[in-house]
Amino acid sequence: MLSRFSLIPYLFCVILLLAGCAPKPAGTPLPSQATVGVAGFHQPHQGWQMVTSTRADKSVTLSSDLLEELDGMLADLLRAKEDRPFLGTESTRQCQELVLSRMGAEQAGVSGLRYWMEVGQCVQTDYLLIPQVLEWKEREGGEWGVTEPGMVVMELTLLDIQNRYVAARFQYDERQRSLSEDLLQADKFFRRGGKWLPAKELIRDGLREGLREMGL
Q: Is residue 26 part of a domain?
A: no
CB 39 within 8 A of CB 119: yes
Cβ neighbours around 188 below 10 Å, total: 19
The H or E element that residue 57 is part of is none
pLDDT, tens digit only, all 216 positions of the chain: 444 434 344 333 444 444 444 455 566 777 778 899 999 999 998 888 888 877 777 778 999 999 999 999 999 999 887 677 788 898 899 999 999 998 877 777 788 899 999 999 999 999 999 999 999 988 777 555 557 778 899 999 999 999 999 999 999 998 866 444 544 455 665 565 556 788 899 999 999 999 999 988
| CATH code (residue 61) | 3.40.50
Q: How many CA atoms lie within 13 A of 116 on its CB side?
A: 31
Cβ neighbours around 177 below 10 Å, total: 14
AA letter at 10: Y
Residue 198 C-alpha from the chain's centroid: 16
Domain of residue 92 covers 32-213
pTM of the full structure: 0.79
Q: Is residue 75 part of a domain?
A: yes
Count of domains observed in the chain? 1
Q: Is residue 6 part of a domain?
A: no
Q: Is residue 125 part of a domain?
A: yes
Q: Is residue 154 part of a domain?
A: yes
Q: Is residue 49 part of a domain?
A: yes
Q: Is residue 206 part of a domain?
A: yes
Please name which of 183, 191, 188 lies closest in space to residue 12, comparing C-alpha atoms: 183
Q: Is residue 119 part of a domain?
A: yes
